[in-house]
Amino acid sequence: MSVVKIRNLTIGEGSPKVIVPLMGKTSEELVEEVQVVKELNPDMVEWRADVYERLEYMEEVGRTADELRMALGEVPLLFTFRTHKEGGSREWSETEYFELLSRMVDSCRVDMIDVEYYSDEQQVKNIIQQAGEKGVRVILSNHDFGGTPTMEEIVQRLKGMQEMGADIAKIAVMPRSMDDLFTLLHATNRMKENYANRPLITMAMGKLGLISRLAGEVFGSAATFGAGKEASAPGQIAVDDLKDVLTVIHKYQYR
């Protein structure tokens, strides 16, 4: 499996990388929050832009991105607009969604963008190409809050993301039982062992999915999300606790 290098970070080797979200609603909140989050020593920081109240004003978005970039130094910045249909805070048209992503790619203020896999296929291909030309990495993602697909379906979605050109393929599902959790872990391992040629990020959300956030390295997930000042999805745990567990698993997995 190949790795993805962003600034000084290599995703796809060693223990899963810890990504911490910024959930501030205003520029002032974000600037304050990024200082708190930076103290947690995350591997990457995610700006959840769908929460930001002034997203329609691109000059303000750009200034805020500049401030975040300056504050983070060499810590990579992931830009995510999570649509309402996949658990986000705001309903936007696909035209608005892809225009925002395109502007952020062109700005060169972010290191990686999240693109939702179940969007217009041609638009997805276009933004992946644009990002590649600008040196911006792409996570293709799918968030299934309705339940957990079959193992075969999860693998097919991840394979589809790879084939479309994602740098990293990501899926999050909502388990209703322990069997659903096992399905997600089985699918992750199946993908890793048989099809993956780039890093994967997989997780089961909520309390039932906790082990998927902690033991991803065992099954093939290359990164995990930890709660900073505020969680961005059900089941995220505090960064310090997350790092402690990841370190122990990595130590004894490969000793």
CATH of the domain at 27: 3.20.20.70
Mean pLDDT value across the chain? 94
Q: Is pLDDT of 254 > 90?
A: no
At position 131, the amino acid (one-letter code) is: A
- DSSP code at position 221: B
Question: pLDDT tens across 108-140, in order?
Answer: 899 999 999 999 999 999 999 999 999 999 999
Question: pLDDT tens across 39-75, in order?
Answer: 999 999 999 999 999 999 999 999 999 999 999 999 9
Q: Give the residue numbers annotated as catalytic, written as ranges.
A: 143, 170
The interaxial angle of helices 94-107 and 121-134, nearest 10 deg, is: 10
Give the residues across from 194 on adjacent strands: none
How many domains does the structure of the chain reveal?
A: 1
Q: Which residues are annotated as a binding site?
A: 46-48, 82, 213, 232, 236
Residues 17 and 220: their CA atoms lie apart, in Å, by 12
Q: Is pLDDT of 226 > 60?
A: yes
Residues 169 and 187: their CA atoms lie apart, in Å, by 13
In this prediction, residues 202-206 reach a mean pLDDT of: 95
In this prediction, residues 172-176 reach a mean pLDDT of: 97
DSSP-assigned states of every residue in 12-57: TSSSPEEEEEE--SSHHHHHHHHHHHHTT--SEEEEEGGG-TTTT-
At position 170, the amino acid (one-letter code) is: K
Q: Confidence class of residue 245 from pLDDT cuts 50, 70 and 90?
A: very high
CB distance 35 to 71 below 8 Å: yes
- Supply the pLDDT for residue 238: 87
Q: Which residues are annotated as a binding site for 3-dehydroquinate?
A: 46-48, 82, 213, 232, 236
Domain that holds residue 169: 4-253
Which of the pair, 153 or 231, is modelled with greater confidence?
Answer: 153
